[in-house]
Amino acid sequence: MGKTAEDIESVTNRTHEACIRIIDKQFKPMDNYADRDHCVQYMVSTMFVFDRLVASDYLDGSEAATSQLVESLRQRISCVEDPQFTKDYHDPEKRTISNALTVKLRDGTVLEEEVVEAPLGHRLRRDEAKPHILEKFKRHLGDSPVSKSKQAEILKLVGPEVDNIDVDKYVDLYFTGN
């Protein structure tokens, strides 16, 4: 549509009671990492503004934490409870963490609601998450002080093979000292 986060008038997050009780902090100041990490509005607005949400986005002084657009948008995101989402959250067979976003643009357009019943990584979507987890692991391993040769050894073990190595031998692969 050629729109950006700056074009958003408001966002409604249809969610479960626990989300509202624990991480609905629409107007609370975001003074530190923990405040940002426990604010659903901060997470959503960061995704809309930067098309990402990574650990460094929670850091004091980060691009996201200092963004006036993230802050402005955060205060335009409201949460409303959906009783079915709350019921499914407490259902031991489901334990879903459902959220549904409806975006209203400044020109009056209301976008079709996007519903996610179980986020990537939830037990119902584990297989779907595995390639993303592996990519994240590789990225972090590549940024680590572990030597390239040890990184290669570690990556060979990723997957079912890791079950066949003693934990102490696996952990030793990460040792970077003498």
Domains and CATH numbers, the chain: 8-119 (3.30.1330.120), 125-172 (no CATH)
- Cβ within 8 Å of residue 155, ≥6 positions away: 138, 141
As given in the structure block, the two tokens for residue 9 are 């008038």
CA distance 43 to 54: 10
Predicted local confidence at residue 178, as pLDDT: 56
Predicted local confidence at residue 31, as pLDDT: 95
Q: Going residue by residue through the chain (178 aa), what tens digit of pLDDT does each one get?
A: 899 999 999 999 999 999 999 999 999 999 999 999 999 999 999 999 999 999 999 999 999 999 999 999 999 999 999 999 999 999 999 999 999 999 999 999 999 999 999 998 898 998 899 888 889 899 889 988 998 999 998 888 887 677 788 889 888 888 877 5
Which is nearest to 5 in space by CA: 80, 96, 111, 143? 111
Predicted local confidence at residue 108, as pLDDT: 97
Please tell me the number of Cα atoms within 13 Å of 104 on its side-chain side: 9
Contact indicator for 60, 34 with CB cutoff of 8 Å: no
Predicted local confidence at residue 110, as pLDDT: 98
Contact indicator for 160, 169 with CB cutoff of 8 Å: no
